[in-house]
């Protein structure tokens, strides 16, 4: 129990600190992309020490904590308070089965065996657990919009529920290809399979594309931030919230992006492993390779988060009908086609794989990756040919 509690404390402290300082990083990325000044003034009070703006997250957090807790009189008070608690609990609970590193060597005072850097190791249905809690977070958004008794909040909640339900389907189809290739729902095993068979971003490019687009939509990041859409809905489903309750919503939104980054790295980029055995042997593992794997893992995650931020400040927002059309008419068919392709390849490998791999030797993985890329490009070309070339952006008038 002591070991589990230590992991929980480290994970929660790391996630909260990361959420605060990634906001600072995003502000600097926004300033760089849009050629303007970023946060550069908040430092130590009563001095001229500015600390490159590193005091900004602390100032923001204190502002939210000490801000007046105001609850409008027209809201459903119980649901209004329950909504941010629900969404933050679901966002944090997902990390119970997501590894935040490889293993540490045994520590005599805590464990005689290597210590896995995951709160609940050995859960065979890890991906199902992630999907279950991710679905619960939708209820927090809907409750916040409904309980606010505001048209802006209500429309934001409706948009969010429609968007998340639509994009959960291609998200699941992108993951199913990985599950078929590995034969496991455990995230640790999915990482280990990629050590020998190659990263799934290379061998399943179509599934990777579908998962990344759906991950953007599930995290409600631009160009998929229709639930908030400041120009149209003021603040979306949390328009009526302020103080610490608003902080819970904002932290949960950022945690969704961090969760998506963890899953992208684990499912498609080999987790903490590097090619050619650069991250050391599986057993036994010393402190040097253990720390190096953690650094590799978090470097990959930081790179994906940086990509999320660059996309947010570079792309315009989709119109709502374009967003839903992309989900149902493009992403869902591509996900189904990808699943059929992976299932066919798995069946062929079951019957002819051993002989073929023995004949091809080390070129087997490259041949599979080549077939997957040819298939992905063909599917994307067909999807582009079947979609309209120009979206009709003209205003519609009632006749």
94 vs 113, which has greater pLDDT? 94
Please report which confidence band the pLDDT of residue 364 belongs to, taking 50, 70 and 90 as the band edges: low
The answer to whether the beta carbons of residues 21 and 57 sit under 8 Å apart is yes
Q: Compute CA distances 200 → 179, 195, 205, 214, 373, whole Å.
A: 11, 10, 7, 17, 11
For 358, the token pair is 């023995």
- Please tell me which of 43-57, 130-144, 201-215 the model is most confident about, judged by mean pLDDT: 201-215
Q: For residue 280, with 0-12 CB atoms within 10 Å meaning exposed, 13-18 middle and 19 or more buried, which class applies?
A: middle
Give the pLDDT confidence score for residue 178 in this predicted structure.
Answer: 92
Helix-, strand-, coil-residue percentages of the chain, each rounded to 5: 70, 0, 30
Average pLDDT over residues 6-20: 88
Whole-number pLDDT of residue 253: 85
User: Residue 75: which pLDDT band, with cuts at 50, 70 and 90?
Assistant: confident
Q: Which residues contact 281 (CB under 8 A, 6 or more apart)?
A: 289
Q: Residue 337 has what pLDDT?
A: 93
Statement: residue 263 has pLDDT above 90 = yes
Average pLDDT value for residue range 122-148: 86
**3-state secondary structure at position 273:** coil
CB-CB neighbours of 366 under 10 Å:
13
Give the lowest-confidence range in 80-89, 244-253, 364-373.
364-373
Q: What's the mean pLDDT in 286-314?
A: 90
Burial pattern 75-84, b for ≥16 Cβ within 10 A else e, equals beeeebebbb
Report the sign of the C-alpha dihedral through residues 240, 244, 245, 247, in that order: positive
pLDDT at 12 > cutoff 80: yes
pLDDT reading at 399 higher than 60: no
Indicate the domain borders of the chain: 1-65, 67-386
Assigned token pair, 70: 């105001």
Considering just the CA atoms, what is the radius of gyration of the chain in Å?
Answer: 23
Q: What pLDDT was estimated at residue 353?
A: 61
What pLDDT, on the 0 to 100 scale, is given for residue 157? Answer: 84
Residue 354 has pLDDT above 80, yes or no: no
Judged against a pLDDT cut of 60, whether residue 299 lies above it is answered with yes
What integer best gives the mean pLDDT of the chain?
83
């Amino acid at each position: 129990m002591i070991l589990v509690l230590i992991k929980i404390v480290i994970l929660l402290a790391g996630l909260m600190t990361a959420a605060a300082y990634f906001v600072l990083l995003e502000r600097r990325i926004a300033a760089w992309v849009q050629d303007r000044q970023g946060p550069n003034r908040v430092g130590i009070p009563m001095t001229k020490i500015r600390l490159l703006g590193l005091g900004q997250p602390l100032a923001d957090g204190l502002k939210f904590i000490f801000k007046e807790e105001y609850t409008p009189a027209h809201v459903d008070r119980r649901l209004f308070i329950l909504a941010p608690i629900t969404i933050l609990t679901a966002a944090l609970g997902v990390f119970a089965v997501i590894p935040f590193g490889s293993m540490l060597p045994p520590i005599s005072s805590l464990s005689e065996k290597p210590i896995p850097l995951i709160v609940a190791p050995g859960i065979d249905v890890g991906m199902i657990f992630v999907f279950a809690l991710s679905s619960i977070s939708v209820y927090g958004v809907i409750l916040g919009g409904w309980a606010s008794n505001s048209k802006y909040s209500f429309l934001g909640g409706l948009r969010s529920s429609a968007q998340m339900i639509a994009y959960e389907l291609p998200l699941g189809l992108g993951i199913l290809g990985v599950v078929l290739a590995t034969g496991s729902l455990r995230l640790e095993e999915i990482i280990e399979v990629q050590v020998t068979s190659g990263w799934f971003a290379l061998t399943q490019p179509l599934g990777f594309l579908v998962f990344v687009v759906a991950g953007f939509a599930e995290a409600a990041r631009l160009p998929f931030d229709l639930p908030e859409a400041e120009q149209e809905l003021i603040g979306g489903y949390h328009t009526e919230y302020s103080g610490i309750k608003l902080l819970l919503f904002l932290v949960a939104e950022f945690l969704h992006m961090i969760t998506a980054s963890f899953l992208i790295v684990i499912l498609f980029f080999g987790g903490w492993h590097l090619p050619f055995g650069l991250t050391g042997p599986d057993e036994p593992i010393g402190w040097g390779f253990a720390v190096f794997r953690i650094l590799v893992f978090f470097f990959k995650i930081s790179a994906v988060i940086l990509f999320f931020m660059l996309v947010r400040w570079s792309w315009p927002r989709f119109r709502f009908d374009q967003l839903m059309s992309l989900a149902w008419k493009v992403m869902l068919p591509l996900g189904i086609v990808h699943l059929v392709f992976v299932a066919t390849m798995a069946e062929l490998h079951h019957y002819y794989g051993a002989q073929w791999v023995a004949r091809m030797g080390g070129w087997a993985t490259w041949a599979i990756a080549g077939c997957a890329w040819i298939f992905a490009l063909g599917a994307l070309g067909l999807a582009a040919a079947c979609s309209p070339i120009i979206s009709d952006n003209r205003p519609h008038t009632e006749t």
